[in-house]
Amino acid sequence: MVFPPSRIPDTTATLRPDSPTGAGPGGRVPLAVGIDIGGTKVAAGVVDGRGRILAELRRSTPGRDPRAVEQVIVELVGELAARHDIEAVGIGAAGWMDLAGARVVFSPHLAWRDEPLQATMESLLGRPVLITNDADAAAWAEWRFGAGRGHERLIMLTLGTGIGGALMIDGRVERGSFGMAGEFGHQIIMPGGHRCECGNRGCWEQYASGNALGREGRELAKKHSPMAAGLLDAVQGRHKDITGNVVTGRRGGVFSLLRVGGKAAHSGSRMAEGISAIEELAHKILAIHAMTDHAAGISFNVGLVRGGQSVNSVAPWAEAEIDMRYRTPEQREAATVRLTEIVARSTVPGTTAELTIKGEFLPMLAQSPGGKALFELYQQAARASGFAVEGEFTNGCADSGFTAALGAPTLCATGPQGYGGHSLDERLRLDSLVPRAQAAARTILWLERAGL
């Protein structure tokens, strides 16, 4: 069984071969949107009949919920269609399709099981939709426009969250009797090995894919292997943070000073007359730290403590500097109320307390359309500079939250890379200086072209 090229629309059939733009009669250029659905990202691009990519967008794959993935596709197509005349949509998905190209029979990285994706997306998008396996689509595109031009036989291997593959034989995508030919990533190379998302054990993609590399890195780091020393430095010893992503969201932070007053007295002869500010501060610190809820994204840390006047006297004063981190404005408000209550409540009779906010960073929350467009432009600039970036939420905070809160398209953490932050071993990776600077410069130069 073969998958003929006729199943993929031949948009060049109506184009004038002598036209450098691919324009047909009246100068009109037929365009389509191509969607690549992977285990970690959904990428979209506007392409013309000559295979040229005119615009790109990218979103993170929203978990394993099929409806959420479909909504992301609708948003991407809608955003691109607002700027381009789109005739049709092609979807390449990680999974096994039926031979008619209408249903996703099974997807190892998404929760699609016998999903009528073509009919669903045509209903949602109001345009003709073609679906196929992502590696099959990539193989056909390379045969038609890229490295496989002029060749009748081609093998495609795709490396990402998993491993995919496809075969081109005599100008056709060979799909096999059940539509699964070329699934090299699910060949068993290690009988009884790691469990794969497809249900088998020992598949190749469990040993050589992006997921596999992340797992191996975390396992080596967890065992403190010398091979993972650089990884551990980069994530400050937190092996679970080995992801390879960059920052697109941050928590907010409030930095405050808590000052407690007491009464001095000689600690030998008149201790009973004193009122210990340090003792009261200790009670407050325990109550403040108890408010930390890592799962909810709320944390409190007392990083500096000072107080007292001499070793042989009851401390008349004490103070602590508090670092509060939060994700949402509602969390900040609720945590501030609780912190104020702790400050007002005295455990040691006769003490006083005062809380002063010394500084604050606003959180970077959900990106605005402009922020998403800016990040996607930076991703293109990064690829042109020789490296790839993805985005993730980080527990740190920074000045970027202020511009993001004002609605300005904002990027953060685009400078040179380093490791061992906030420690005596903090270092800068010199080899990241030039490519990161090039990516930033390209992003600035391309702003006007991107309409930003």
The three-state DSSP-derived secondary structure of 358-410 is: EEEECCECCCCHHHHHHHHHHHHHHHHCCCCCCEEEECCCCCHHHHHHCCCCC
Of the chain, the percentage scoring pLDDT greater than 70 comes to: 84
Segment 323-329 mean pLDDT:
89
Of the chain, the percentage scoring pLDDT greater than 90 comes to: 29
pLDDT of residue 228: 55
pLDDT of residue 147: 85
47 has pLDDT over 60: yes
pLDDT of residue 3: 36
What is the rounded average pLDDT for all residues in the chain?
Answer: 81
Segment 221-242, tens digit of pLDDT: 666 666 555 555 555 455 455 5
How are the residues of the chain apportioned to helix, strand and coil, as percentages rounded to the nearest 5? 35, 30, 40
Hey, which of 89-93, 130-134, 280-284 has the most confident mean pLDDT? 280-284
Segment 112-136, tens digit of pLDDT: 788 898 999 999 999 999 998 888 8
pLDDT of residue 229: 56
**Does this model's pTM top 0.75?**
no
- For residue 4, name the pLDDT band (cuts at 50, 70, 90): very low
365 has pLDDT over 80: no
Segment 336-346, tens digit of pLDDT: 999 999 999 99
Q: Give me the residue spans of the domains in the chain.
A: 2-159, 216-244, 252-361, 374-446
Fold assignment, 252-361? Alpha-Beta Plaits (3.30.70)
Q: 2-159 belongs to which homologous superfamily?
A: ATPase, nucleotide binding domain (3.30.420.40)
pLDDT of residue 396: 74
Q: Which residues contact 23 (CB under 8 A, 6 or more apart)?
A: 15, 16, 29
User: 104-113, 187-196, 417-426: lowest mean pLDDT where?
Assistant: 417-426
Of 356, 342, 349, which is closest to residue 277 (Cα–Cα)?
Answer: 349
Can you tell me the distance from the alpha carbon of 311 to that of 116, in angstroms, rounded to the nearest whole number?
76
pLDDT of residue 22: 46
Of 1, 3, 32, which is closest to residue 15 (Cα–Cα)?
Answer: 32
Q: What DSSP designation does 263 have?
A: B
411 has pLDDT over 60: yes
247 has pLDDT over 80: no
What is the helix (H) or strand (E) element at residue 234, kind and residue range?
helix 229-234
pLDDT of residue 436: 87
Q: Which residue has the higher pLDDT, 257 or 24?
A: 257
Q: Angle at CA 20, nearest 5°, toward 18 and 22?
A: 85
